[in-house]
Amino acid sequence: MPSRQQGVRVPEVCRLRLGGFEIVSILDGAIVRSTLRERFAANAEDADVAAVAAAHKLDPGPFQHPFVMTLIDTGRELVLFDTGCGELRAGIGIGDFSAALPHGRLAKLLAAAGYRPEDVDTVVLTHGHPDHVGGLMLGGRPAYPNARYVMGAAELDFWVKGNVRPACKIHREVFMKLAYPFADRARLIGPGDEVTSGVRALDAAGHSPGQLAFHVESEGQRLLLWADVAIHYAVSLANPGWHADVDDDKTQAVAARKRILDMVATERIWAAGAHMPFPSVGWVERAGSAYRWVPISYQLSV
């Protein structure tokens, strides 16, 4: 008898309620990379990272890296935070991302979430890395044709000036090709600025020089979109002082990670990160001198 196995299938779209807002998580894609220590804890001992992996039943070597984008429907406005990997893996004439990024499925999965690309009113960029700006354009055209754009002023300035470390030169090329064309009509913001009623930017610089996190609040319910402040749910929380290879300024990134993890744990607010396990929404609790990720179950869906 032929096998009836269908292969792995995981949730890709999740719609939750935060007060009067709907929070939609969409899995742009996922890819397996190696290794946990090299990527997220270069300044750690192998044994310490292996212990964290074991405590979470994870392989200490290869790990699955998810890319989760967040859409917020405030009831009046549809706001998309970052655009995923887009067509970078297939190739847009810059670099070779085939080993680094999945094919971006965000635009396609919007339909499953109940929206059309034309429905997106605002695209907000948390920062300028390829997996966040990759889907701004598809087939050479704006992927969200009716959107207005919001970017961090410091982040834009950094990429335009071009004084980037060698490993990020290709990232700059991607930014200039896909994001810079929107810069002249974008609203440029900084920490403390409001994107729309209930959504306010917070300083999260370090992973990139102008990274912004976003505090979202509706009817007293609160969520912090921390973008890439903490990148691996187990390793980055188990020791916020460990260095992620993709953090531009390691010291500043560690400070931002500690500050934001402390905030969400102390104030007991929901968190969502672009690389947290789908649907990327969870809770951060203190564990000794560090933290632990507690994934959401049904709290925002009842």
- Residues binding Zn ion (CB under 5 A): 131, 228, 274
Closest distance between Zn ion and the C-beta of residue 228, in Å? 4
Closest distance between Zn ion and the C-beta of residue 132, in Å? 6
Q: Cα–Cα distance between 87 and 263 in angstroms, integer?
A: 35
Closest distance between Zn ion and the C-beta of residue 191, in Å? 19
The dihedral through the CA atoms of 156, 162, 167, 173 has a sign that is: positive
Closest distance between Zn ion and the C-beta of residue 247, in Å? 11
Helix (H, G, I), strand (E, B), or coil: what is residue 140?
A: coil
Closest distance between Zn ion and the C-beta of residue 207, in Å? 8
Closest distance between Zn ion and the C-beta of residue 129, in Å? 5
Nearer CB in complex with Zn ion: 67/149: 67
DSSP notation for 53-118 = HHHTT--SS-EEEEEEEEEEE-SS-EEEE----TTTTT--SSS--TTT-PPP-HHHHHHHHT--GG
In 3D, which of 272, 249, 263, 244 has the Cα closest to residue 66?
272
Nearer CB in complex with Zn ion: 253/300: 253
Nearer CB in complex with Zn ion: 126/221: 126
Nearer CB in complex with Zn ion: 21/233: 233
Q: Cα–Cα distance between 228 and 246 in angstroms, integer?
A: 10
Which amino acid belongs to residue 196? T
Pair 187, 193: CB distance under 8 Å: no
Q: Residue 139 — φ and ψ, nearest 5°?
A: 60, 30
Nearer CB in complex with Zn ion: 154/246: 246
Nearer CB in complex with Zn ion: 12/228: 228
Cα angle 149-208-13, degrees, rounded to a multiple of 5: 55
Nearer CB in complex with Zn ion: 264/276: 276
Closest distance between Zn ion and the C-beta of residue 1, in Å? 44
Residue with tokens 């890709």: 12
